[in-house]
Structure formats: structure tokens, C-alpha cells
Amino acid sequence: MKLILLGAPGAGKGTVAKLLTKMDGSVQISTGDILRAAVAAGTELGKKAEAAMKAGDLVSDDLIMGIMADRLKEDDCKPGYLLDGFPRTIPQAEALKTMLAEMGEVLDCVVNIDVPRDVILDRLTTRRTCTDCGEIYNVKSNPPKEEGKCDKCGGPVVQRDDETEEAISNRLDVYNEKTAPLAGFYEKEGMLLTVNATSSDAVIDAVKAKLGK
Ligand code: AMP
């Protein structure tokens, strides 16, 4: 399947993407994960992206489109892809539309995961992430078995730099201003599936129903 997962930070895009990859071998592509890996590795891309990310601002559209133009051409995208955290602005959505048309690709749909702001705030402040493999934990509902250590790979489980209260509040404002308008964009394209759900299983069920799986 070829999907865009739209939703505020903390709406559950990553969790839903991981569950969907298990259904048909589609690959999860998270621009946030790609950027965090670049920052950790100290690459040119990482150096360019680091300050904006730490403040909870968006990285420039040019940088993101450069990453995605290469990423979508990789072999593992052939069975399908779940775009998690991309596109995030109208110019990115326009550029993606052109890019897909050139590649002869058609998306199945755009899943807009709509979660109330208080649930999002609670999730983001209690979320913890493995810096090695990206596995997500929650200090209240899903802590690692051993504190600070990833169950899957043994890597360090920490709070992300952009999950301080100040950066979270900025990320949500940036989402409302720059990314929320994408729902209208894809509505007009006839591709939008909005799911009001706080459980990822409910989102998966809605996607399955929409795609007839
Ligand atoms: P995420 O893990 O998706 O919340 O992304 C973390 C941070 O990476 C964001 O707050 C942005 O600074 C940056 N980022 C990720 N994806 C994009 C994108 N498509 N456009 C611009 N910035 C992005």
C-alpha cells in the first residue's frame, strides 16, 4: 500500500505505520527518523537540520524534498510505503504530487489521524524513544522492562530533545499553522480518510476497511 499518514506530533503516526508494515511489507519512511539519524551521525544534512529540530521548527522544504527524492527511488519502496511525517507543508505536498506523477505512482489514500490536544500533550511529555532503533515507549503505559534500556536492542531510551514542554508547544503550533491545512489539500484531491481515534487498532481497522483488506 502507498499511504500518507497525517496527524499532529503524538497522534500515533509512527505506531500505526509500524503496524501497517506488518500487513504487506510496505516500508515506513519517517523524515523525522532520517533527520535524527543524520544529526546523530553528524553529517552535513544533520548539521543543517539540527537547530530547527531542537526548537520544534520545520526543516526547510528544499532539504526535505532532496531527502525524499532519493528515498522514494530505493528498491525497498517497490512493495509500497507509509509516509510518516511527510509532507508537512503545502509546498512539500505540491512537490510530492509532481514527483509521484513523474514516477507514475498513485497513492491509495491519506490517513488523517485526529487526536484531541490534551491526549497529544500527555503522550508527548511521557514518550521515550530508543536512540539506536527508534522504538517508542511511554513512561506511564509502556515503559521498557529495565529503566532507560530498550527491550528490543538494549540501546538507550531517552526523552527526545524536542520533547521539552517548550518545544512540544511550538511543534503543535507549527503543526496547526503549516501542516493541518494539508487535510483540506488532500480532501480536494479526493484522497482523505479522517479517523478520530486514540487507539492505533481503530486506525488500522479504518484503513483496512477503506482499502478493502
Ligand atoms: P517527527 O519525528 O516527525 O516529529 O520530526 C521531528 C522533527 O524533524 C520535526 O519537528 C521537524 O523539525 C523535522 N521534520 C521531520 N519531517 C519534516 C518535514 N517533512 N518537513 C520539515 N521538517 C521535518
Q: Which domains does the chain have, with CATH numbers?
A: 2-26+79-115+173-211 (3.40.50.300)
* Amino acid letter for position 23: M
Confidence category of residue 172, pLDDT binned at 50, 70, 90? very high
Q: Is the pLDDT of residue 69 over 90?
A: yes
Q: What's the whole-model pTM score?
A: 0.91
Atom of ligand 1 nearest to the CA of 174: 10
Mean pLDDT of 32-37: 94
Query: pLDDT class for 162, splitting at 50, 70, 90?
Result: confident
Residue 84 Cα to ligand 1 middle (Å): 10
Task: Please say if 128 is a catalytic residue.
Answer: no
Active-site residue, 36 included: no
pLDDT surpasses 90 at 161:
no
Q: Determine the 3-state secondary structure of 157 from DSSP.
A: strand
